[in-house]
Amino acid sequence: MTDWQAFTVETKDHVAQVTLTGPGKGNAMGPDFWRELPEIFQELDTDAEVRAIVLTGSGKHFSYGLDLPAMAGTFGPLMADRAQAAPRTEFLVELRKMQAAVTAVADCRKPVIAAISGWCIGGGLDLIAAVDIRYASADAKFSLREARVAIVADIGSLQRLPGIIGEGQLRELAYTGKDIDAARAEKIGLVSDVFEDQEAVLDAAHATAREIAVNPPLVVQGVKDVLDQRNKDEVAAGLRYVSAWNSAFLPSEDLAEALKAVFEKRAPEFKGR
């Protein structure tokens, strides 16, 4: 397959492993990530040799989420000229491309299993919400952190997680932006199982992928298609709504303060403006 900048892809015995590689620290999601993710999963979707996919991160962490420094160009025009239609429209187009990138994972006909270690923050949580099965190592930590940086989560967590962890658990995570550990993630159903370390969780994900791969591939794809029909239209409508909402209301003094605080490595001071 192609030489990717933000991923590696390896296939063996009908199982593909897709590994996040950065180049941002902690596999942060920059322009290469958003461009390559849908291409990879569209290729795997049409590859008859692939029957299941394992998704994981390189190094100690799954992903720190959006690479804010690398993606500053997406927010910059919106913040610099808040009252104008053109930057809002451009932001809407880019945001919907990012949404489509993660939706490509959800729409892939091959079951996807995430093996999560270390931090899984923001966009990382959006990504694992789009897979079929989630496993974690004991050191994994999760955070739907967007509220803490003055952003309404807009890539899929708010739309997909209700069916995974329930409305009440999601509201607590989304309103507070709190961090939770692997034990809490298992308790609320965010992950199916917790394993001792990164090697063990990756082994478990591959074991499940092999179990899937020995079954009739068209039947497995059919099962996934039938299961996905339950909320596909609801998720799509929610993504359209939040993209329009953020294009209208995302620019704020609080967002500027949040971004400034990230670069200055300090706690932000929000004023509701």
Burial (CB < 10 A; 0-12, 13-18, 19+), residue 5, is middle
Task: Report the relative pairing of strands 133-137 and 193-195 from DSSP bridges.
Answer: parallel
Please report the pLDDT score of residue 85 as a whole number.
Answer: 87
d(CA 40, CA 55): 12
Name the token pair of 144.
């739907």
pTM score of the predicted model? 0.95
Q: Could you list the mean pLDDT of each consecutive 10-residue stretch along the chain, which spans 273 residues?
A: 88 97 92 96 97 97 92 76 80 95 98 98 98 98 95 97 97 98 98 98 98 98 96 97 94 87 88 90
CATH topology of domain 7-198+212-264: 2-enoyl-CoA Hydratase; Chain A, domain 1 (3.90.226)
Delimit the domains of the chain by residue range.
7-198+212-264
Number of residues that this document lists for the chain: 273
Predicted pLDDT at 179: 98
Note the pLDDT of residue 234. 97
Residue range 13-70, pLDDT digits in tens? 999 999 999 888 999 999 999 999 999 999 999 999 999 999 999 999 999 999 988 8
The distance of Cα 159 from the centroid of its chain, to the nearest Å, equals 12
Distance of CA 102 to the CA centre of its chain: 6
Taking the CA atoms of residue 32, residue 37, residue 40 and residue 43 in that order, the dihedral angle to the nearest 10 degrees is -130
